[in-house]
Structure 1
Amino acid sequence: MPPGGAPATSRLARVQQPKPSGRYCFEISSDESDVEEEAACVHVQHATLHSWSDESSESEGEDEVSRTVQRDVTAIRLANELDPWDKWEQTCRRRAWYTIQHRGHGGTRSRTTTPAPDTGVDEIEEILARFQLKQSHMQKKEREAFEQRNASLWEGIDKAIRNAEKRAAEEAEQLANARKRQEEAEKQAKIAREAELKRMDEEKKAAEARKREEDARKREQEQQQQKELATNVMRGGKHLWPVAKGEYERCYTFMKQVKEDILPSVAKNPDWKKQCFAAKRSITPKVGQLTNSKAEIARITLAIADVLEQARRVPDKDAAHRLYTWMLNHLSKCLIRQAEQEVAARQETAFPLARLVMGLLLREHVQLGDVLMARLVKKCPWILGYVPERGTLQEEEHRKRLGFKTADETVPSYVARMVGISAFYFACLQTPLDTVAACCGLPPSMSLEQAAQQLPDLLQPGRMWIWQVRSMASPVAQQAIVVSLWCTFLEVAGPPALVRYKKQAIKVWRLLLDEGLQGKLGAKSSDDVQRAAEVRLRLILETWSSTGSLGEHASPGRDMDP
């Protein structure tokens, strides 16, 4: 501050930066005429240019060449004019030199006087420093903004490149996957086509093989039928053997059902088991007590019928069926056991057993016939005039089908049991129903004819003729046991058969005597049992041939005792 406290008047009053008008304007103090003159000159120049431009604009429509010249002149003038920044810088320099020169002149006038500091220079320097700092800051900001924009731009470019590369990679991967799927699909299709072709080829070969097998089977069937036809001629006709086989299979199947269904179900139920064992204790001794007495036959028949009737009247139908069948099966076992033991020893004991069976059948216990025949056929298939075929069966199983009790049973023991069972069966076939009805009675409101119609087919009297025919045909006629069975048939059922079939029976028996005993009946290599049976059969037939009756060879006990 100058002496005297008066503030120093700055020669540079104010400096203004250029405004957005397109020109930089400087406001200076009144004593800086040169600066004002320079600014006035600048304004005059601009006014001149504007006026010239206006004049040119007005004459624009007059001449195209004139407009071009005016535009060129304007461009030249503008090119020669200094930039506002340069003008401002020149002005500041002139001021600075003016101040310095003015300070020098003052020193020559008064060297002893201490010059007052010129605040204008400091202010200018300060303004310049601030301006330079601001300019540097602006440049820095612009540079940072540029770098940021550049970085952002490159980042965007890199991102776009990465996205493009990613999309390209994804598209390539999708294309590769699609190509792979297509190749896999083509491969699978090829495999499927090959498999289909292979399957079709295999089916074709299989069809051809089946056709060949079918043709071979048909040829084999035809050959078998021809062979069977020729064999059936020896068996008594084309229907004789198949019918016998069907009867055997039905009986065997029925017995298998009883063994696998009825017996286990009763064994698992304590109440059923208790009732069945009570019936068993009642039936078993009665069968053993049976004699040929009319009174005993009637008593035992009615007692057993009452036991069976109690089982049949059980409210539960399924329980009644199972209990009733179980008791019939046990009764059949008792009867067959008696036949194997007593009848084999004393043939006449077969007649009371037969009357008991017929009496129960007449009293509407018809199912006894099915159960009894199933057990009889299982124990002795010979009663059907049938020989179970070996087929694929083992030797032990086949012997069991033939009726052997054990694997080591001897032939004499086996033949004795078969003869006893056959005698019991033949006794049932020849028993007159009227005598049984008179002894045991019939159900109320039922005639003898109606009761007789309920008898099973396998227990009808006509089975006597069927057995004779089947036993005279192959293969039964070639069995060693058939000679003993013929002896039993003639002794037990011979007289009724002769009365029933008369001339037909005579023809069969004559054929049996003339040709059967000449080596055509029985096995070729006979054993002692067969030879003894042949002697016995010859005596029976010769007695019949000479006397017309079987005489003493007929079994006693055919008539009931009083």
Structure 2
Amino acid sequence: MNFVLNLARYCTFHFVERLTRLSSLRDTMKFSAPRSISPSPVRREPRPTRRRSTFGLPPDSSDEEYGLAESDEESVSTLSSSASSDSFCYASESEVPPPQPKPRTAGRSLEDQYHKEDTIASIRLRVRHKDPYEEWEHQTRRDAFLSARNQQTRISSQLRRDKKQLHSKDANRLAALHTKQMQEVEAALASFKLQQQTEEQKLREQWRERDRQLWQRIENVIQFEENKVKAKLEAERKKREEEERKRKEAELQKRLAEEKKKEEEERKRREEEEKQKELQRQEEEKRKQAELDKQRAEHLKAEEEERKKLGLTTAEDDWRRARSALKALKAGPMKTVKSNKELKSLWSAARRQITPKVGQLTDDPQTVSRVSQQIVEIMRPSQPYPPEVYLALLSSLSKTILMQAETEVTAEKHSALPIAQVTVNLLWTLEGFSEIFFAKLCQRVGGWPIPFSIPATDVDGKTFSNEERTKAMGIMTVDGQDEGLSEHTARVAGIMRVYFHILFAPTPKPLDPLFRLPRYWTWFARILTDSKLLESPVAPELISTALEVGGFQARDIWGQQWVKLLGILYEGVTTGLHGTGRLIGGSAAPGPAARGRAELEIERIMGVIP
């Protein structure tokens, strides 16, 4: 690169030097070149001078290459002055002044004109002359420039190749060094790992030996204690057998004497009964005749009495009944049992027996029957419990069943069937269980079993506080925080699934009207008339649960009326009730998903109807 710059500087300097020599030669020729002798004594008239442009000389003239003629210099000076005078800008072309007229020059003599023409001719001859030495010099410099450029290119390429090879060698050396170091590190790690594994294996063996010796000592102590206990139990067993044998002999003698006495009393009682039966038969005939007369008199009130017998009550009546039973249970038996140490001990012992029994339920008829019988035996022992303890145990039993439904049915809905069957067995077996179970059911899930919207006042006329009303609605509180909507919906749906199975379960004798099959129709009729309940996201979830449990059986029982009710429900979960656009469950989650499940259940039931 430096060579090229030096060559350019040299050519520029040579060109300026040559131009300077040519200018000085022109000045010498102007004043010292002799005028050629005219071949004719008479000269032609000089032609009028005219303005010549810079292009007046031929293209091959030396003036074009090295300088300007005198007239051209004047033109350039004129243009420069004109350009300098017009250097400022005008607003428009109309404002540009016309060019200044060129002043006429004074006439020259004929001798000066001849001298000028001779000078120009001499310059042209000089300029058009080609010097072979200069041509050779130019060509030599051009070749030198090309040779230098090729040499520079070749040297640069060689330098790049050498640099690339050097980098490659360094990279290979570093890679080999890195590989060697990695091998050394891996060898050290492998050695350390092997040492660590050896130490760990040694420690494991020591711990195993220690554990073996420890467990051996424990087993020896246990075996020794077991032998002592076995010897003691054997002695007690023999003593009990001897006492039992003596007690049975005494009971046998006593029972023989009592049986003989009972036979004598039974004979006398039969004689008295025969006399009493004859008197009762006569009185019964009189009583039947009186009843016939009374039935005729009360025929007008028969319809009202029949409604009461069927258990057709209002939703508010059912809620007040459940709420009153719950308050009476807490204020009466539960308070008494908890305040009395002996009663509380009896209650706690029986309650601890009930909880494992309910947890052993499986979907097997034998297991259901066995668990039901065991619970009945716990609730009705040979020595009956005091009334307060019995009612408290009924409350604990109800709570245990409902909590089992919350945990198991929420996870697996098929587990609701055995829980419902055990509950049905207890409802028709245990006295007073129906009332307490329904009260506890409403306590756990609010007014959904009725269904009924919880009012602002309690049954005693006292206004609910926010916490009390939330609790009455069945919303649980965990660590001071109300349970979430999704958790509440799932929990209520699990308990209500058990309740719907109870309504359809077969029973050997009628249950309380709150647990009979007509309550299934009543539940749907009431929830469709309660706008507050329909707006809750829990409503479509419970509707889909109820349809899944008993939709097909309800179709077989109520026929076309059930189809009409399904049509109203389908309208409520798809387009809105009565064309209002108000969907069951509202827009909050999990309302849309529950509506979808209810819609599928309705379509599934309607699809099997001819």
TM-score (norm. length: structure 1): 0.48
- Based on CA coordinates, which of the two structures has the bigger radius of gyration? 1
